[in-house]
Amino acid sequence: MSTIAVYPGTFDPITNGHTDLVERASKLFGKVIVAVAASPKKRPALSHELRISLAKEVLGHLPNVEVVGFDNLLTEFTRSVSGKVVIRGLRAVSDFEYEFQLANMNRAIAPDVESIFLTPSEKHSYISSTLVREIASLNGDFGQFVNPEVKRVLQEHYKTI
């Protein structure tokens, strides 16, 4: 039986740090579902459909990775896809407190689902979607942090604002 792992996030936009985590997770689990959260309360810059599409393009080289959108409770979504593991990324120690609290809450709601923490490689540890959006909005050079298609889409997005 191969374990299904769910890697949730807003992916606004998907970065090379996200890709690094998914590539490594794809070697550890039989199937990885990248779950793109609608997250309307976060007011994402890119539409839900566009974030899903970009993640599919960026991760298309990984045969055991599937990208889907969701708009419900993570534990409900994970159970609906028969997931047994939720993958969370930790870039810095400052991420740990929030992620630890979230993992414990998820465990209280769904004790059959485990949380696993992965860290990106050091060359991606400082990349965040927030910083990428900020650089893009100010017409800075952010190409080294994202896939070329993500760069193109963000440049186009911030041209029209």
Tens of pLDDT, residues 36-48: 999 999 999 999 9
Q: Per the structure block, which two tokens stand in for 16?
A: 């090379």
Q: What is the pLDDT of residues 83-118, one digit of tens each?
A: 999 999 998 777 888 899 999 999 999 999 999 999
Does the annotation list 119 as a binding residue? no
Active-site residue among 56, 79, 91, 157? 91
Domain residue limits at 114: 4-159
CATH of the domain at 105: 3.40.50.620
Do 134 and 45 form a contact (C-beta atoms < 8 A)? Answer: no
According to the annotation, is 79 in a ligand binding site? no
Let me know if 48 is a catalytic residue: no
Is residue 90 part of an annotated ligand binding site? yes
Establish whether 91 is an annotated binding residue: yes
Q: How many domains does the chain have?
A: 1
What is the spatial distance between Cα 126 and Cα 130, in angstroms, rounded to a whole number?
11
DSSP string covering 44-101: -SS-HHHHHHHHHHHHTT-TTEEEEEE-S-HHHHHHHTT--EEEEE--SHHHHHHHHH
Q: For residues 1-15, give the mean pLDDT.
A: 94
Judge whether 129 is annotated as a binding position. Answer: yes
Average pLDDT over residues 20-48: 96
Instruction: Clarify whether 42 is annotated catalytic.
Output: yes
Which residue is catalytic, options 31, 129, 133, 151?
Answer: 129
Question: CA angle, corner 30, sides to 27 and 33, nearest 5?
Answer: 90
| 137 is known as an active-site residue | no
**Known catalytic residue at 129:** yes
